[in-house]
Amino acid sequence: MFKGLTRTVLAACGIGVAALLVAGCGGRESAVPGDSADGVRTESDLRGADLVDDCARRGRWDLVLETARTLEPGEYSLAVMHDVQRALFHSGRLLDEMFTYPQTVQRDGRFLFSRLAPRIAQTAWKRAEVLFELGHVNLAEMWAHLTLEVTGPRAEPLRLLSDVYVLKGQSQMARTCLNVLIAVDPSQQTWARERLRRLDEAPGLTDDPRLAHVHAMMPVKDYARGPVVIPFREHFLQLLDTNPRNRMALEYLVAFDLWSRHADDVVADLRWWEKTADTRLPRHCQEAVLVFLTNPRYRASPYQYLQSSAESWSERVDATVRTRYQGFKESVRDLLKAPQDEHPALMETLEKTWGGDWYFYDAFGYSAGGKDLAPVDAVTGATE
């Protein structure tokens, strides 16, 4: 399949084929919600989830988070969750505020990585972008090609692919992508020609700080090919083995541990945190350490090897986090003792007070606002 995808890009340079692709892709899905017929997006025309998507594409992380707060549960799709996670990371708030946004165990915490959502082009492109940022350049290449298969040649995947091929030392393929970009999108011609000029001067674009950063994060060895399915967490561990300073891989790994409700995995993976320069432990990690040390399910023998590590990390737990956790446990005890008819009001108070804390999510399976999110179909990724 991959060779076929590559031929799609090469064919776009051919006489006649390029004209066909420029003209459009028939009934293919639009790559970008909010695009007008001539490809010009008008931000003022976008609302809700489409505005979140547009802001994420532009790197407007503040607006992603601001807009996500206004969405109704029916608008809060896997794609929105993906964009919110990325925005929180780029804002330096992922492991402190992840559960102040709607989360539920019924929604795939891998954020589009494991299932195809209904909007295939949007999903493929989001995967390509974040994988490239993480340093998984080969996987980013695959998903960028899939985006082109669905949408035809578009600026975003072609630009990313040109960078992928520079990083892989395939400068001729990078030039091919840039020439296609010049042919199909007049608005990109100046940028693409300048990129071609720089490639002529320095094929590796070693003076490009963005590419230098991604290059430093790229894995030094691939997983086995064939029918082997790589566990999701292993993708991040592979990146961290290559470069322990890969902050995005670290935070996404711990975010997945938190979503999975595995305080033991959080404690285990904090070994990578020791390699950072941060002395402060993020709030949700502090909460997970307290849960590990106090929840009876982690007193079983399989978890004993983590006990001393958790106790060491507990020294970094803020007094305010301890106080809140104690108040939460007392409120849960009151809930369990209360008559059944009082439970709805008590649960509403619990969610309002502690719904943004990880231990609430760990106990009830959803965070503030997450209870009303529709579950995701296991096959298609579609919500109800």
- Is residue 136 domain-shared with residue 266, that is, in the same domain? no
**For residue 115, what is the enclosing H or E element?**
none
- Is residue 66 domain-shared with residue 123, that is, in the same domain? no
Residue 384 resides in a domain: no
- Is residue 18 domain-shared with residue 130, that is, in the same domain? yes
Distance CA 210, CA 223 (A): 25
**End position of a domain, from candidates 314, 329, 345:** 314
Domains in the chain: how many in total? Answer: 4
Which residue is associated with the tokens 């006649």?
A: 16
Tell me which DSSP letter residue 12 carries.
T
- Is residue 12 domain-shared with residue 124, that is, in the same domain? yes
* Containing structural domain, residue 291: 232-314
What's the pLDDT tens digit per position in 94-148? 999 999 999 988 876 555 555 545 567 778 889 899 999 999 999 999 999 999 9
Longest Cα–Cα distance of the chain, Å, equals 76
Q: Taking 60 as the threshold, does the pLDDT of residue 24 lie above it? A: no
- Is residue 152 domain-shared with residue 191, that is, in the same domain? yes
**Banded pLDDT at 376 (limits 50, 70, 90):** low
Residue 325 resides in a domain: yes
The residues, any chain, with a CB within 8 Å of residue 368's CB and separated by 6 or more, are 99, 100, 101, 102, 351, 352, 355, 356, 360
Report the chain's terminal Cα–Cα distance, integer Å.
Answer: 32
Length reported for the chain? 384
Residue 379 resides in a domain: no
| Integer angstrom CA distances of residue 63 from 54, 98, 203 | 10, 16, 36
**Global pTM value:** 0.85
Distance CA 298, CA 301 (A): 8
Which residue is associated with the tokens 């578009």?
A: 154
The residues, any chain, with a CB within 8 Å of residue 31's CB and separated by 6 or more, are 121, 122, 125, 147, 150, 151, 154, 156
